[in-house]
Amino acid sequence: MSHGELLAWQPFGRFTFDSAAPEVQRETPWDLASLTKPIATVSMAMLLFERGQLPLDEPVADLLPHFTEPGGPLKPSVGLSGVVPPSSFEDTQRAWRKSVTVAMLLAHSSGQPAHRKFYLETSGLEAIQAAARLVPLEAKPGTRAEYSDIGFILLGELLEQIAAESIDRFCQREIFAPLNLNMNYAPHPSIRSAIPPTVNDLTYRHRIVQGEVNDENASAMGGIAPHAGLFSDVLSVARFAECLLRGGPPLFRPQTVELFTTRQATPPGTSRTLGWDTPSQPSQSGTLFSACSFGHLGYTGTSLWCDPERHLSVTLLTNRTWPDSAIQAIKQLRPPLHDAIVRAL
């Protein structure tokens, strides 16, 4: 989409490599995976921030119970070198946790590790939220950018607590409906066959995953999670992007969009904004998007990149994980695709 005009809306291929599989349609919904983070969770944070309910510099420990506890099992994390006595480790963890802010969760600089397989140990929304609160930090907050699903699980719990409402209900009313977006969590079983499958899961669910969230932790949380779980078609994602490129109406103020989509100054070398990524070297956005661009990737093969300088957005939705996530060809596709679009314009 360029300057509000939809220049290309093109489906390619079939749901799977089977020649008898359904063909992809313009309106085909996809598992957006981590595009859930900026579209749903970050948008919810932006609205609560504008309403004065979410101070970005607020310590997370003041908002989430038990977050200052070191967690368990108690053992030194990667960020602590050498042999550290348990009491010293606990003291360090408590001090670090007290310094984690809401902005750090958004910018992936809280010191949280990238991922934990909570689904192998427990299930249910509250159980996984509790497990996420207790994961030891791996770095001093504010010193390292580490993309973290765990940080967004904590952020989602915090946002739902402030809003006194689940993230899916809040986003449906406050974000998706005003923009007329075909977006939802946990699609109804009656439409799952119209959604491309993402994986033949042989280790956890032991079935083909189609029309339900690919991410295992999100699945164990009931399919509604702040880090993954959103389903949508390409046009709806493009409409959301256009809202941001226009400066935010009818959802956000321009100042809020600029604040949340501008690259953070710290930690040194970070490419992250408050919830988005920006072009780095090399970048999945290619080589031609401007320095003020912002975007995000999704594990299932989805991506959205926005260039405010060109008033351009590119949405690419695929199920690159079919039949398993070992397929990485999407990394060779995305950069030249974005470069070709910019050159064509």
What mean pLDDT comes out for the span 322-331? 94
Confidence class for position 338, pLDDT limits 50, 70, 90 = very high
Confidence (pTM): 0.94
The answer for residues whose C-beta is within 8 angstroms of residue 181's C-beta and 6 or more apart is: 175, 232, 236, 239, 240
Q: What structural domains does the chain harbor?
A: 30-35+182-344 (3.40.710.10), 50-163 (no CATH)
Q: What is the pLDDT of residues 272-281, one digit of tens each?
A: 999 999 999 8
Distance CA(77)–CA(113), nearest Å, equals 10
Q: Residue 297: phi, psi to the nearest 5?
A: -115, 160
CA atoms within 13 A on the CB side of 144: 14
What mean pLDDT comes out for the span 282-306? 97
Q: What is the pLDDT of residue 29?
A: 98
For strands 207-209 and 199-201, give the pairing: antiparallel
Q: What is the pLDDT of residues 30-73, one digit of tens each?
A: 999 999 999 999 999 999 999 999 999 999 999 998 888 765 44
Confidence class for position 173, pLDDT limits 50, 70, 90 = very high
Nearest to 278 by CA among 320, 309, 306: 306
Q: What is the pLDDT of residue 282?
A: 92
Q: What is the pLDDT of residue 74?
A: 38
The helix, strand and coil proportions of the chain, stated in percent and rounded to the nearest 5, come to 35, 10, 55
Q: What is the pLDDT of residues 187-244, one digit of tens each?
A: 999 999 999 999 999 999 999 999 999 999 999 999 999 999 999 999 999 999 999 9
Rg of the chain in Å (alpha carbons):
20
Q: What is the pLDDT of residue 78?
A: 44
Residue 76 predicted with pLDDT over 70: no
Q: Which tokens in the block code for residue 142?
A: 């504010």
Confidence class for position 85, pLDDT limits 50, 70, 90 = low
Confidence class for position 22, pLDDT limits 50, 70, 90 = very high
Residue 21 predicted with pLDDT over 80: yes
Could you tell me which residue, 75 or 131, shows the higher pLDDT?
131
